[in-house]
Amino acid sequence: MKKVERINIIMRYINNRAHFTISEIMQEFNISRSTAIRDIREIEAMGMPLVAEVGRDGGYFVMNNSVLPTVRFTDNEIKALFIAFMATRNQQLPYLKSRQSLAEKLLGLISENQQDDLVLLNQILLFEGTNPNNPDLLELSDLPHPILEKLIQILLLDSYLLITIQEGNVINSYPIYLLHLYREKGLWMIDGFDLKEEKRKVFPVDNLTDVERYPTKKVLSKKKILEKLSKQEEVMNLVLELGPKAIAQFRKYHPLKVSISYTNPYQTTAILKTFINVHNPEELIEITNWLLFLGEDITVRELPEEVLEGLRERLGLFCP
């Protein structure tokens, strides 16, 4: 951990405690006594009002009514925050309305020279979904599904949910344990464990009509849920290795239930594992077409015979 990062974390650590000692800082951050003392002195010099207590069991405490010193950003940090705003401006993200006030506060913290740099960046950089004729940082237009923020607020309290989904002309309710909430191909998705059917399911947030906490009595614990999921994953019957060209095709299009795990830090190789229901003709056709779409940059580890037969039939149309 870099020194600047460590000092920032220590500041937050001690600001949330009524009392702390050098030994606690040493143990918490795995640093020597001399380093801990030096860091504390630097934090005091930055303006945090610390009071030292004399004695064998002495330590430090933060003076009452104190606050963290003013946050100061480097030029690169300012640019990183600004570009993050630009890159995500027209995406359906939660708390989008709050981002305008956040951006205004950010601009108010920086110097005029830094503001000039951001104005120039705003004129030059354009991201997907941006109107070239009006690339304004504070124009946040594409609001997410109105229930998304409610879903996140409940998730912070409990992962056991009762969700109500509009499915065609029918409204169904599902008790689930939410595993992940993710955004893929422009859609927010709920990845959950159905507590009744005891299997993994994916639900589009756009079809969500209501969500509430689900009573956790007499339901599976998180440990049991993960054990069941682990056993279910063992029956995955489609396993592929993807190279860079196949990964590029994957990013262009893939079925919602399919995901990949990158196998190197450069994201140029990946593993794809999923279960194909070979008794579902529609799913079989979709997967067959999609595998052809991925191209030749794949290595097959495991493939259902039914999918292989479908590939042979499709290729036979072009190579009689």
Query: What average pLDDT does this structure show over 221-240?
Result: 83
Q: What percentage of the chain has pLDDT greater than the value 70?
A: 87
Q: Where are the domains of the chain?
A: 3-62, 73-144, 148-226, 238-318
Q: Is the pLDDT of residue 65 over 50?
A: no
pLDDT-derived band at 165 (thresholds 50, 70, 90) equals very high
Q: Is the pLDDT of residue 66 over 60?
A: no
Same fold, 3-62 and 148-226: no
**290: its two tokens:** 């999609």
What pLDDT is stored for residue 234 in this prediction? 59
Angle, helices 112-124/75-88, rounded to nearest 10 degrees: 40
Q: Comparing 304 with 218, which gets the higher pLDDT? A: 304
**288: its two tokens:** 């067959």
What pLDDT is stored for residue 106 in this prediction? 76
C-beta separation of 109 from 77 below 8 A: no
Q: Is the pLDDT of residue 41 over 70?
A: yes
Q: Comparing 316 with 24, which gets the higher pLDDT? A: 24
Query: What average pLDDT does this structure show over 24-37?
Result: 88
**Span 203-217, pLDDT tens digits:** 989 899 999 999 877
What pLDDT is stored for residue 233 in this prediction? 67
* Cα–Cα distance, 252 to 246 (Å, whole number): 10
**275: its two tokens:** 């279960």
Query: What average pLDDT does this structure show over 271-277?
Result: 87
What pLDDT is stored for residue 162 in this prediction? 94
CATH architecture designation of domain 3-62: Orthogonal Bundle (1.10)
Phi and psi at 55, nearest 5°, equal 130, 170
What pLDDT is stored for residue 46 in this prediction? 73
Number of H helices, E strands in the chain: 11, 11
Q: Is the pLDDT of residue 75 over 70?
A: yes
| Type of residue found at 67 | V
Q: Comparing 177 with 182, which gets the higher pLDDT? A: 177
Which fold is adopted by the domain 148-226?
A: SH3 type barrels. (2.30.30)
C-beta separation of 209 from 172 below 8 A: no
Query: What average pLDDT does this structure show over 39-52?
Result: 79
C-beta separation of 132 from 126 below 8 A: yes
Least confident of 46-55, 142-151, 167-176, 221-230: 46-55
What pLDDT is stored for residue 215 in this prediction? 82
What pLDDT is stored for residue 51 in this prediction? 76
